[in-house]
Structure 1
Amino acid sequence: MNILVTGGAGFIGSLIVDDLLQEGHDVHIFDNLTTGRMAYVNEKAVFHHGDLLDGNRLAEVFAASRPEVVIHHAAQIDVQTSLINPLLDAKINILGTIDLLEQCREHGVRKLIYASSAAVYGTPQYLSVDEAHPVRPLSFYGISKHTPEHYIESFALLYGMDYTVLRYANVYGIRQDPKGEGGVVAIFMDKLLDGKQPVIYGDGEQTRDFIYVQDIVSANRAALYKGSRGIYNISCNEQTSINELLKEMCLICESSFNPAYEAARTGDIVHSRLDNRAALNDLGWSPIFTLRDGLGATFAYYKTQYQV
């Protein structure tokens, strides 16, 4: 199968590319390398440098790659950045996706797999949050990740394109950048390995549903063949507090638990846990990694990086 992965040099996208190549697919990557890294680009893939907001370049890449399936991970991914610069956030995540959809239509793409987010739900009215839960995002990021879902659905209805939307819980794991837009696990790991004090925003009792990146990879693989025109939570359906997370990481890193606490950040919800039963039923997918296993694999990866 000929597959184009946007954001294919990034944290999640690059691992999806590796998996697709291992499965025998022909893979093209489209990435502007703002957060992606050439070091993560698999040499067996065809790499196209370019920006999602450059319509001419996007058209060139579609013409050159002729994908049957597009896996869309190129995005502005940071909640705080969306609050500081909502226009940039909307341009990349909404307008960029619309242009991508236009190219999918013009080049007869069979299916789009779209990386959405738990941020679309906002403050949960109940736990676990299933796909029928009201969508009321708190941040501009949540809005900009949800809006394309409507465009995707409309493009599918108007032009016959298939799609699967995957709403990710809090993803962590190897290749996640602890700098800039890094997730809490990568940031904590960086601090612990560097002998610095981790910072917890709020009292640390806020909870998240953490999922290891390789489980995200397997969900995308499943969506190549299943989940037609469906929206699915990709999660472990488990709650872990930030305090519990750091304590577990301290045990793995053989470090003392001594965080600094600062004020809670705007746009962050208190509790989150996503119901993953629809993905289990329709995609035949389930997470394999426990939090301890995933953190152990992440620690082993970052420890190697620090030794280089």
Structure 2
Amino acid sequence: MRILVTGGAGFIGSHIVDELIQFGHHVHILDNLTTGHRENLNSQAIFHYGDLLDHGLAEAFAASQPEVVIHHAAQIDIQTSLANPMLDAQINILGTIAVLEQCRMHGVRKIIYASSAAVYGTPQYLGLDEVHPIRPLSFYGISKQTPEQYIGTYAALYELDYTILRYANVYGIRQDPKGEGGVVSIFVDKLLEGKQPLIYGDGEQTRDFVYVKDIVRANIAALNNGSHGLYNISCNEQTSVNVLLREMCEISCTHFDPVYLPIRKGDIVHSRLDNQAALEGLGWSPLYSLRDGLRETLDYYRKQYQSKGTNESNGSKLI
């Protein structure tokens, strides 16, 4: 299958590309490397350097002639959306419209769109299902939900199939210590460097953490399932930030010693997404427990950190 992955050099997108390659698909990547990294690029995929809002997008579509587009290129930081809502809207809303226009012009069969739990806002009940009211607390939540409406309308007008995946808080290998759900990566950096982790609020706020490899499996399942569907992709479990950090400290044999700071604007207090629809519509359910996912993530970064220390002590530099 010919597949174009936007944001394919990023945290989640690069893992999806790797799995698609393993399944034998012909994969193209579009990324402007603003938050993506060249080292994440799979050598067996064809890379197109470009932006959603420049000529690079049209060139990538013309070269790849995709049957399916997996759309992960986005502005992903809530605080950035509050500081610069114009930028957030340009990338997430106008950028997705540009992708949809290319899908229309090139006869793409299906688009798989990465949305977010941020669209829901403050929960009226837990776990949140896909019919929960949409009342985002941040511009980021607005800019992730608005493209869902465009996708539905493009589908109705131009016979474009789609699957929309609303992610809970994703974590895992290759995640930068910023962006939506980046708390695990931030804690990893602090623990490995022997610094005190920062917690905004009292740490009793809860999130639904889902491992990146489970996110990948949901995207693979959506290639041929979930037609015209919208699904929460989550573990359907609440974990407080305090418990998360304690788990990570236990796994890494590190003392629990955070610094507590005032809660940030745009952050919700509690979140847990119901994932029953994904089980029924995609045949998907998470395989990784939080502890297993954290252990795999910490093991990976511990080895990276130790390797870096060895190279630096030898006078060499990691690139």
Which position in structure 1 is the counterpart of 2:52? 52
| Identity across matched positions, percent | 74
Q: How much does 1:52 deviate?
A: 1.0
SS of structure 1 residue aligned to 2:17? helix
Matches within 5 A, 1:295-306: 295-306=294-305
TM-score (norm 1): 0.99
The equivalent residue for 1:245 is: 244
Q: Which residue of structure 1 aligns with residue 282 of structure 2?
A: 283
Quote the offset at 1:104 in angstroms: 0.3
Shift in Å at residue 53 of structure 1? Answer: 1.5
Whole-Å separation in 2 of the counterparts to 1:53 and 1:139:
23
Q: Which position in structure 2 is the counterpart of 1:109?
A: 108
- Determine the structure 2 residue equivalent to 1:43: 43
Partner of 2:270: 271
- Cα distance in structure 1, aligned partners of 2:134 and 2:203: 25
The aligned counterpart of 1:9 is 9
2:301 and 2:111 map into 1 onto residues whose CA distance is 32
1:251–1:74 distance in 2 versus 1, CA, 3 Å: same
- After superposition, give the CA deviation of every residue in 1:202-258 in whole Å (9 maximum; x if it has no partner): 000000000000000000000001000010000000000000000000001111111
| TM superposition shift of 1:93 | 0.0
Q: Quick one: distance in 2 between partners of 1:225 and 1:180? A: 29
**CA RMSD in angstroms, aligned pairs only:** 0.9
Q: Distance in 2 between matches of 1:307 and 1:264?
A: 33
User: How many angstroms apart in 2 are the aligned matches of 1:20 and 1:86?
Assistant: 33
Change beyond 3 A, Cα 1:182–1:150: closer
Q: Which runs of 5+ in 2 are unaligned?
A: 308-319
Offset at 1:67?
Answer: 0.3
CA distance in 2: counterparts of 1:209 and 1:57, whole angstroms: 35
For 1:184 and 1:120, how far apart are their aligned partners in 2? Answer: 19
C-alpha distance in 2 between matches for 1:251 and 1:193: 13
- Partner residue of 1:71? 70
CA contact (8 A) 1:201 1:265 kept: yes
Distance 1:34 1:181, change over 3 A: farther
1:246 aligned partner, one-letter code: L
Contact kept? 1:176, 1:182, Cα under 8 Å: no
2:312 counterpart residue number: none
- 1:301 deviates by 1.0
Structure 1: 5+ residue stretches without partners: none
Question: How many aligned residue pairs are there?
Answer: 307
TM score, norm. by length of structure 2: 0.95
For residue 189 of structure 1, what is the aligned residue in structure 2?
Answer: 188
Take 2:248 and 2:50, find their aligned partners in 1: how far apart are those partners? 37
Task: Report the Cα distance in structure 1 between the residues aligned to 2:5 and 2:266, rounded to whole angstroms.
Answer: 29
Amino acid in the other structure paired with 2:221: A
Partner of 2:134: 135
CA distance change for structure 1 residues 288 and 77 in 2, over 3 Å: closer, same or farther? same
1:123 aligns with 2:132: no
- Asked whether the equivalents of residues 169 and 180 of structure 2 are also in contact (C-alpha less than 8 Å), the reply is no
Deviation at 1:304, TM superposition (A): 1.6
Q: What do residues 51-97 of structure 1 show as CA deviations (whole Å, max 9, x unaligned)?
A: 1121x221111111100000000000000000000000000000000
Letter paired with 1:191:
K
Cα offsets for 1:111-143 (capped at 9, x unmatched): 000000000000000000000100000000000
**2:293 matches 1:294:** yes
Residues 188 and 246 in structure 1, CA contact (< 8 A), matched pair in contact too: yes
2:221 aligned counterpart, secondary structure = helix
What SS does structure 2 have at the residue aligned with 1:189? helix
Distance in 2, matches of 1:96 and 1:190, equals: 31
State the distance in 1 between where 2:8 and 2:110 align.
Answer: 17
Using the alignment, how far apart are the partners of 1:305 and 1:156 within structure 2? 44
- The one-letter amino acid of 1:30's match is L
The residue aligned with 1:233 is 232
* Residues 170, 181 of structure 2: 8 Å contact kept: no
- Give the direction of change, closer, same or farther, for the CA distance of 1:209–1:6 in structure 2 (3 Å limit): same
- CA distance in 2: counterparts of 1:194 and 1:87, whole angstroms: 35
